[in-house]
Structure 1
Amino acid sequence: MTKPKVLISDKMDPNAARIFEERGCDVDVITGETPEQLIARIGDYDGLAIRSSTKVTAAILDAATNLKVVGRAGIGVDNVDISYASGKGVVVMNTPFGNSITTAEHAIAMMFALARQIPEANTRTQQGEWPKNAFMGVEVTGKTLGLIGAGNIGSIVAARALGLKMKVVAFDPFLTPDRAVEIGVEKVTLDELLARADFITLHTPLTDETRNILSAENLAKAKPGVRIVNCARGGLIDEAALAELLESGHIAGAALDVFESEPAKESPLFGKPNFICTPHLGASTTEAQVNVALQVAEQMADYLVNGGVSNALNMPSLSAEEAPKLRPYMKLAESLGSLVGQLAHGNLTQISIEREGSAADLNGKPITGAVLAGLMRQYSDTVNMVNAPYLAKERGLDVREIRHDREGVYHTLLRVTVGTEQGDRSVAGTLFGSEAPRLVEIFGVGIEAELEGNMLYIVNEDAPGFIGRIGTLLGENGINIGTFHLGRRDAGGEAVLLLSVDMPIPADVVAKASALEGVKVVTPLAF
């Protein structure tokens, strides 16, 4: 078996390469290349490990014909075109926890530096002055800290602030009341936070919803004398408006580790009173650099070698421990999706994926992804679990996941139902011996079959002699039958025949089969 090949294109801890090798990957470390050089090289690799220097653009992804995963050693993925990568079926991972403590500590350090005006006091003292009476700081004890974003890093900042005897309020639409209690913060609206906070720290990604969250309007709403810290992402604050409010004194101080445009060679904030800044140092500690490098190597190797998915931004998580258990279910799910996609004609409007029995207790997202991959293969020959949900969304398909606690006839069951202009069409399958996928129902007709290779689906009138006629037709055309599966609704009613054959069935043979007496539908299938 050929080992997956990984390229490390940015400088990172050398132990990352060792981990790739120990876990079954071949790895090359080639840093500092131009985009053109990377485009020429990337087609040889299954994985690309980066930090912030490499820009994973559409042009690079187009050239990356074998690429399966991009791993960012760090949290920010502004340098990766995630949407385009998803369309190409490439998993994008980051390491959101490797530098969390480091970034949180930097925010706390910046808060203290603001409160006591340490940078300016240091500069003037080293210039030979003794400006003891020029600086009057404030204590943080008893003050209110406002968190914009209470996720992983925000919750660490909250814990440190509570240890400093501060009161912490948080604005985060995804923060549940129970989680707020757990981390010791009060959940508030953004307007409430602005009105109450003595210090504000930002801990949210840059999205369409969060861009310019501290706009000129919102900054004007802030409590007079507030001090603002941003160690998250540039673009969250209107920098020009912040500069004006520092000049006016409405905002007592600001500390930025990130800027809207980086590297920040110039800024309206430079030189403003009580403004301090650092050159994006939030993750710059020895411990953090080692952690994120090791973590990205572990994650990428798990995916390339074992199929485990963790910290992916465009695919459901699937641990390396879950992968072997889920693999037969995902094979079944993909086959069912493919079957219903090949048979349900017309404009598909919705799809539901139902799990019952043992399947109900499993991680449903990978199963849904596998169903969609099978279904969307009718529309794209490069579809996989990563880009299938995006293709489904582009086609306006309403995807529903349903979990049943009930026990049915089978110990485990997956059912896939698509809504079409002609009504719902449903197929169902199970696992034999927890490993072997089997179809057990097709459009309401019970039938047991393996779904693999080339097959022929026929709906006909249940009448004597039909099996002989179809067998003769295929034999006369040199087509060997592998397996034969029959089902029917009622005696003498509508019957279903599903047979596997050793070769693709030519169009003229399909036409001849369609012309046989009693035949209603003939559809060649491929799995």
Structure 2
Amino acid sequence: MILITEFMDEDAVARLKAAHPTTYAPELADQQDDIPALMAGVQVLIVRNRTQVTEALVQSAPDLKMVGRLGVGLDNIDLVACKAQDVIVCPAVGANTLSVAEYVLTNAAILLRDAYQARARMLAGEWPRGDCSGREVAGRCLGLVGFGEIARVTAQLAQAMGMKTCAYDPFLPSDSPLWKGTEQRDLEGVLGGSDVISLHVPLTDATRHIINADRLAMMQSGAVLINAARGGTVDEAALAAALQGGQIAGAALDVFETEPLTQEAARIFDGLQNLILTPHIAGVTVDSNIRVSAMIADLALEQLSQE
């Protein structure tokens, strides 16, 4: 039996339903207290980032063999509990890489150009041409905090646009060929020497608030920050203060400490015109959803074929 608790491509769902009893209930992401009662007999659980796969949930499913993650982050899955019960966890590694890389560079171009917040002024009869010239991405430096697969693809696309790239990643050996074309720097060097800073790290004790007030102060006044990695890696109150005070030029956030944003969490961003907010969709396009869903469906069918 398969249970899918968040949205998935319809063709992939149809393939699963044709092969095994499958419950497709994406509304459960908003009704998580109802999930444990549905876990009896479930062998494969398919989730995105909102469903919390806790120890209690895993223990409520004695037949569970696999958790499929429609994405790559595993913050919402208790990996220790899964391992203790011999449940394999399968993220869709690589399937949404291009979507995230394109998101980063799209927002870099928008923030550097500084021309896309003029709509209200233009509709009010102004013609603020002098305030909207902005900067090109070509010749600017993209600094990557973390240099995994998504960051490396982002660097390749940035280089094709004429950007220089640098990165900080203490876990990638300095002699790795993967550094080719990208300058290795320490964290302070990336933050202080980049026009665009993009985060590509998981949320751990070491990376929580890796961008805080002190680190924001290291950035150039014209720099922009993009977080399409994990909520909690940026101190949102410190970022809002830096944007409000003109300490940095702009930011784009796709992930947040609290998701969905509560009114209280959103209030700190009120009035900021140099901030782009999106609802955790950097890796979700029509195209990537098809790839991610197909990959997890294939893995689920392979797992169940072994039963």
Q: TM-score, normalised by structure 2?
A: 0.90
Determine if the alignment matches structure 1 residue 260 to structure 2 residue 257: yes
Per-residue deviation, residues 306-352 of structure 1 (Å, max 9, x unmatched): 49xxxxxxxxxxxxxxxxxxxxxxxxxxxxxxxxxxxxxxxxxxxxx
Runs of 4+ in 1 over 6 A off after TM superposition: none
Determine if the alignment matches structure 1 residue 86 to structure 2 residue 95: no
Whole-Å separation in 2 of the counterparts to 1:180 and 1:250 = 36
- The alpha carbon displacement at 1:124 in A equals 2.9
- The alpha carbon displacement at 1:72 in A equals 1.0
SS of 2:209 mapped into structure 1: coil
Whole-Å separation in 2 of the counterparts to 1:178 and 1:118 = 41
Whole-Å separation in 2 of the counterparts to 1:276 and 1:36 = 32
- The alpha carbon displacement at 1:127 in A equals 4.5
Give the letter for the 1:10 counterpart: E
Determine if the alignment matches structure 1 residue 289 to structure 2 residue 286: no
Whole-Å separation in 1 of the counterparts to 2:83 and 2:56 = 14
Aligned residue-pair number: 302
Q: 1:74 to 1:127 in 2, by over 3 A?
A: farther
Whole-Å separation in 1 of the counterparts to 2:304 and 2:208 = 34
SS of 1:284 mapped into structure 2: coil
Whole-Å separation in 2 of the counterparts to 1:63 and 1:250 = 49
Determine if the alignment matches structure 1 residue 207 to structure 2 residue 165: no
After superposition, residues 399-438 of structure 1 pair within 5 angstroms as none
Name the structure 2 match of 1:30: 25
After superposition, residues 444-463 of structure 1 pair within 5 angstroms as none
Contact 1:99/1:288 (<8 A) preserved: yes
Name the structure 1 match of 2:95: 98
Contact 1:35/1:60 (<8 A) preserved: no
- The alpha carbon displacement at 1:70 in A equals 0.8
Whole-Å separation in 2 of the counterparts to 1:48 and 1:140 = 42
After superposition, residues 372-411 of structure 1 pair within 5 angstroms as none
Give the letter for the 1:219 counterpart: L
Higher relative contact order (Cα pairs below 8 Å, separated by 6+ residues) = 2
Whole-Å separation in 2 of the counterparts to 1:291 and 1:225 = 37
SS of 2:158 mapped into structure 1: helix
Name the structure 2 match of 1:10: 6
Name the structure 2 match of 1:319: none
Whole-Å separation in 1 of the counterparts to 2:231 and 2:32 = 24
Q: Which has the larger radius of gyration?
A: 1
Name the structure 1 match of 2:304: 304
SS of 1:208 mapped into structure 2: coil
Determine if the alignment matches structure 1 residue 131 to structure 2 residue 128: yes
Contact 2:115/2:132 (<8 A) preserved: no
- The alpha carbon displacement at 1:169 in A equals 0.5
SS of 2:103 mapped into structure 1: helix
Name the structure 1 match of 2:269: 269
Whole-Å separation in 1 of the counterparts to 2:245 and 2:274 = 12
Contact 2:117/2:273 (<8 A) preserved: no
SS of 2:298 mapped into structure 1: helix
Determine if the alignment matches structure 1 residue 77 to structure 2 residue 77: no
- The alpha carbon displacement at 1:21 in A equals 5.5
Q: 1:59 to 1:260 in 2, by over 3 A?
A: same
Name the structure 2 match of 1:444: none
Whole-Å separation in 2 of the counterparts to 1:273 and 1:30 = 37
Whole-Å separation in 1 of the counterparts to 2:176 and 2:274 = 35
Give the letter for the 2:78 counterpart: D
Q: 1:299 to 1:126 in 2, by over 3 A?
A: farther
